[in-house]
Each structure stands twice: as C-alpha cells, then as structure tokens.
Amino acid sequence: MPKKIIYLDNAATTPVDKKVLQKMLPYFSEKFGNAMSLHTMGEEAGDAVEEARENIAKILNCDVQEIFFTSGATESNNTAIKGVVKRYIQEFKGEIPHIITSAFEHHSVLDVFKSLERDKKAEVSFVAPKADGVIDVDDLKKEIKNNTILISIMYVNNEIGTIQPIKEIGDLVKEVNKKQRKSPLIFHTDAVQALNYFTCDVEYLGVDLMSLSAHKIYGPKGIGVLYKRKNLNIPPLMNGGGQERNFRPGTHSVPQIVGFGEAIKLVKKRLEKGEDKKMKEKRDYLIEKILKEIPDVYLNGSREKRSPNNIHFRFDSVEGESLLMKLDMEGIEVGTGSACSSASLQASHVLLALGLKQEQTHGSLRITLGKDTCKKDLDYFFSKLKKIVTDLRKISGNVLDEFKNK
C-alpha cells in the first residue's frame, strides 16, 4: 500500500474538518439529550439544534423557520419533488401536473421524476443541456405549460462540475408567476455541489426549495437540509412525529446537525479568504498541464462555467475504470463519474446528455480538488497519470493489433 494517499474525489465526499468534529463530540455522550425533551439535557440539545439552524439560515439569507433537517440531499430532493406533486394532485382532485427537470440531474432527482412519470402521477419534460454542459434558459421556457408546477435544476453538476444559470431560471419563474395561472410555478434546486463555492442566497437566486448536504462541505455524512419557502405548503414525505414542525419526523441527530452548522460557518470563512479563487488557479494549472502534455484528451463541460474544484476529462483509447484502479495503486483517489453509480459499468447519463457516444464515455475521469489539495499533490498526480495513460494505450494498441492479425 502506498505511504501517502492523495485524495482527489472531493465531489464524492469530504473529510470531516477537525474543528467540526470537535464541535460534534460532546453531543455523542456528554450532552446526549433528546432535542424534544423538556428537561435540562433536552433543552441543551435543542439549543444546539437551533444554533445550527441559525448558522445555515444566515448563509441562505432566509428565516430559521424555513430550514428543515433531513438525512441528506437524497431525502431533501425526494421530499421537495414528491411533496409538490402530491399537493397539486390533492388540490385538483387527481389531475396530473406537468414538471420539468434536466436530463443530467443527480439520480436522486432524475429517478424521482422518472418514477412519477412511470406511475402516471406527472407529465415530465427532460431538458437536455447544451454540449458545454449548461442548460439554456430558453429551452426551459419553451417547455413551460399552464399546468407546469415545478422546475428542478441542479446548481452545479455533480459529475462534470458545470454551473447552471439558477438566478436566471429564478427570474424566469418570477415572470411566469406574474401571469394568471392555475397553480404557481415552483422552483427547486439541488445545491449540494454549490454550497462550498457559490452564493446560496435563496432571495437572490429566487428559489422556493433548495437541497443541501453536510458531507460535501467537510461536515458529517447522514445529515442534510431542505430549505422550504415559508408560504409554500407541501405534505411531508413521512409521518410519525412532531419534529421539524411536523414536517420531518424522527429523533434529531444532534451531533450531525451541530456538525452541519459548524461546517457551514467554516465555508463562509474560506470564501472570505478567497480560497475558492486559489483553488480555481490550481484547477486551471492542472487542466493546462494535462491538455498540453497528454495527447487525445478532452475536457468534458464548459471551461469557464465550472466549479473551482472540478476537472473532468475523457481519454481516447483508455478505460476509465482501468485508469482509476491504476491510480489507486499509486495512492491517488479519483472518480470516474458520480460516486453514487461508479460501481456500475453503464455509460454516464451525464455524458450521454452532452451528446457523447457511448464508447466516448468510458474513458472519463473526474478529478475534484479539496481545501487541502496542494500543487505538489497535483504534480505527483500528473506524473503518474501521464505514465499510466501511456501504458494503457500501449496495451490497448497491442490487443487491437493482435485482433487485426487473427
């Protein structure tokens, strides 16, 4: 096993920051009260939950009553989308609404839309991104009907890192809602990959629902948030308790909630120090190096409209899985796409949505930098990458030659 691990898969998950962990620790065994209990320990836990809620509300520029804790972004996405559709069907006595999303969403959005379509609970439009991996607002506008009740577009694509025009979509939704409609058009965004680097001010963006996750911002796994605009009433996904103002039942996971609250405070500090700009410089340094010194390699997605930490390449005549495993043997951790589906050998739905052919998708590699990634790590990664790509192409060429000679 290599002596040093270089972790370049921060879009999949991030390590818990030591400051976050220290804030969490007392709530496991010292301050372990149930946040709903009325005794002193319960109130202590409840106060910690509300402090975290306040920290998150400040970043989102919203009321604390609009923040709901969940088990993660997958639950938040399911709650938001299914809740909006269920409310419409109840209000209009079984009438089926129309909803819109993109063709390259995270599966926790895309699969919900597909299930609603399959179960005939909604008519669905899947809008394809442009070749650069960015949604065209005009393409969205063309899909809006009188019975369209929901648009759900992710803020930053989890695989190729492209930034979507969320504010422009929010402005479009506001314009649509000025007209007389059967039901208001609601805007949801999965902002999981955006929170580390971009404003998530819900008033500025014009969103009604926003999903977030702690483990992408150096917080713990298993805790998420759904921002829900105060005047938006949707039914809960689950029933069984009075927690989260009767919207999300289940005993509060106080340590995780505390961790989320602390992690989001640290995000603000990093942005104030301009660490996102420093990361962008390191990202561009590596992109330039790879494009200049390794032949037949292509950057997937826009060069400019891209998260500061995301690099996504495809290499001709190389299998992404082989590349990943060879790098892993050298102590370098990267991804071939979404970590939620990287165990599958199926072609990436994100890359297919960009218009790539199936065979073009298999040589892809996702490199996502973290706050502790240094230039020395990137140089080491590049030296190993260049050698491995060269070796794999030789093997691929030899196999092809043998096949041709038979």
Same domain, 264 and 289: no
Report the alpha-carbon distance of residue 75 to residue 84 in Å, rounded: 14
Q: Are 116 and 82 in contact (CB under 8 A)?
A: yes
- Is there a domain that residue 208 lies in? yes
Query: Are residues 145 and 86 both part of a single domain?
Result: yes
Asked if residue 403 belongs to a domain, the reply is no
Full residue range of the structural domain in which residue 71 is found: 18-270
Q: Is residue 345 part of a domain?
A: yes
Residue 159 sits in a domain whose CATH number is: 3.40.640.10
Stated pTM of the model = 0.94
- CA-nearest of 158, 166, 131 to 301 is 131
Q: Is 402 inside a domain boundary?
A: no
Together in a domain, 308 and 225: no
What pLDDT, in 10s, does the model give residues 167-182? Answer: 999 999 999 999 989 8
Number of domains in the chain: 2
* Pair 262, 282 in one domain: no
Integer distance in angstroms from the first to the last C-alpha of the chain?
A: 39
Kindly state whether residues 118 and 231 are assigned to the same domain.
yes
Residue 92 DSSP label:
T
Angle at CA of residue 288, ends 286 and 292, nearest 5°: 120
Separation between Cα atoms, residue 369 and residue 126, nearest integer Å: 30
Residues 338 and 237 reside in one and the same domain = no
- Domain check: are 94 and 73 in the same one? yes
Q: Which of 270, 298, 313 marks a domain boundary? A: 270
Query: Rounded to an integer, what distance in angstroms lies between the CA atom of residue 382 and that of residue 289?
Result: 8
Q: Residue 267, by phi and psi: left (phi above 0), alpha (psi -120 to 50) or beta?
A: alpha
* pLDDT in single tens digits along all 406 residues of the chain: 566 899 999 999 999 999 999 999 999 999 999 887 889 889 999 999 999 999 999 999 999 999 999 999 999 999 999 999 999 999 999 899 999 999 999 999 999 999 999 999 999 999 999 999 999 999 999 999 999 999 999 999 999 999 999 999 999 999 999 998 989 999 999 999 999 999 999 999 999 999 999 999 999 999 999 999 999 999 988 888 889 888 999 989 999 999 999 999 999 999 999 999 999 999 999 999 999 999 999 999 999 999 999 999 999 999 888 999 999 999 999 997 544 444 555 789 999 999 998 888 889 999 999 999 999 999 999 999 999 999 999 987 654 344 334 4
Q: How many CB atoms lie within 10 A of CB 351?
A: 24
Residue 102 in any domain: the answer is yes
Can you tell me whether residue 126 is helix, strand or coil?
strand
**Do 281 and 259 share a domain, yes or no?**
no
Alpha carbon 4 to its chain centroid, in Å, reads 28
Distance, in Å, from the CA atom of 41 to the CA atom of 290, rounded to the nearest integer, reads 55
Residues 281 and 198 occupy one common structural domain: no
Active site residue 340: yes
Short-list 308, 278, 281, 315, CA closest to 162? 308
Determine how many CB atoms are found less than 10 A away from the CB of residue 103. Answer: 16
- By the 8 A CB rule, do 271 and 289 touch? no
In this structure, are 115 and 53 located in the same domain? yes
321 within some domain: yes
- Residue 335 belongs to some domain of the structure: yes
In terms of domains, do 237 and 299 share one? no
Single out the residue in 270, 285, 306 at which a domain terminates.
270
Q: Same domain, yes or no, for 266 and 185?
A: yes
| 3-class SS string, 256-298 | HHHHHHHHHHHHHHHHHCCHHHHHHHHHHHHHHHHHHHCCCEE
**Domain membership flag for residue 404:** no
Given 217, 237, 270, the domain boundary residue is: 270
Q: Report the CATH number that the domain containing residue 293 is assigned in CATH.
A: 3.90.1150.10
Residue of 62, 200, 340, 374 marked active site: 340
Task: Sort residue 296 into left (φ over 0), alpha (ψ -120 to 50) or beta.
Answer: left
Residue with tokens 């991804």: 335
